[in-house]
Structures are given as C-alpha cells and as structure tokens.
Amino acid sequence: MTDVLLCVGNSMMGDDGAGPLLAEMCRTTPRGEWVVFDGGSAPENDVVAIRELRPARLLIVDATDMGLNPGEIRRIDPDDIAEMFMMTTHNMPLNYLVDQLRGDVGEVIFLGIQPDIVGFYYPMTEKVKTAVERVYQSLAERHGVLGFGEL
C-alpha cells in the first residue's frame, strides 16, 4: 500500500516555502513510508508519476490563506478547495490537480498551513517552520495527519 506526500509551494517566497521545506526534511530523514514529491510551484508536473503509483493516500501540503493565525494547520476537504478563496502562487489551481488524480488515488487529504508573510526573498517565519515540524512529526504515524482539525 503506497502513500504519497505532495509538497507544494515556492521556497523563494517566505512562508509559501512550507511545502518544499517539508519535502527537504523528508528527504534528509524520512518519516513513515511516504513517497515524497516536491511539487514546488508546478505540482501538476508530478501527476503522471503519482498516477503510476496508484497510492492508497495522497497527502497534499501547502501554505494556504485560510484566515487563521500564522502557523495554524487545518485539513481541508478537497471538494472545498475550489470554493474557498485561497492564496496561490501556483501555475494551476490545486482543485484541478486533485480532479486529475481522483480516479487513481484512494484518498486525498489536503493540509493547509496558514502563512504569515508571502513575498519574494522573505525568510520563512518561525511559526510556519514550527507548523512544518508538526506535520513532519505526524508522518511517522499512519493516522497522524488526521490529528489536525478541519476547516
């Protein structure tokens, strides 16, 4: 049973680099049995590779403006992504990506990390780094990512 982690974001834009930071942490010291993709700002480029794996679970992690305090983490129903006003620095809205993968993935889980500062060449804030660490730690447990509240 394969689980895929798709990390999304732009590491050159402050807190939007949450996804790429998580991917780097997983590459350095893997947690659990996740196959990790650093989708960067063009996660649609990984669709074919993810489809070929036919994962039981696809966990997408991205900095997402949800109107919360910086560093808060929430599970978001993938069906609600298109309806929510979300900050995006990506080439393609994530709801299109999810729609492309739905038939090849057992379960899609979307985790949003509330950013504070998103702008070119800004450093990542401590609150978002701490949130990324919390997500990273949760990856070792099969159901750890479900411990985050829903939006």
Domain boundaries, the chain: 3-147
For residues 83 and 19, which has the higher predicted lDDT (pLDDT)? 19
Amino acid at 40: G
Task: Please indicate, yes or no, whether the overall pTM of this predicted structure exceeds 0.75.
Answer: yes
Per-residue pLDDT tens over the stretch 22-58: 999 999 999 989 999 999 988 989 999 999 999 999 9
CA distance 20 to 9: 6
Per-residue pLDDT tens over the stretch 96-142: 778 878 889 989 999 999 999 988 989 999 999 999 999 999 998 87
* CATH code for residues 3-147: 3.40.50.1450
- 3-class DSSP state for residue 150? strand
Residue 18: C-alpha distances to residues 4, 9, 47, 54, 141 (Å): 17, 7, 20, 25, 20
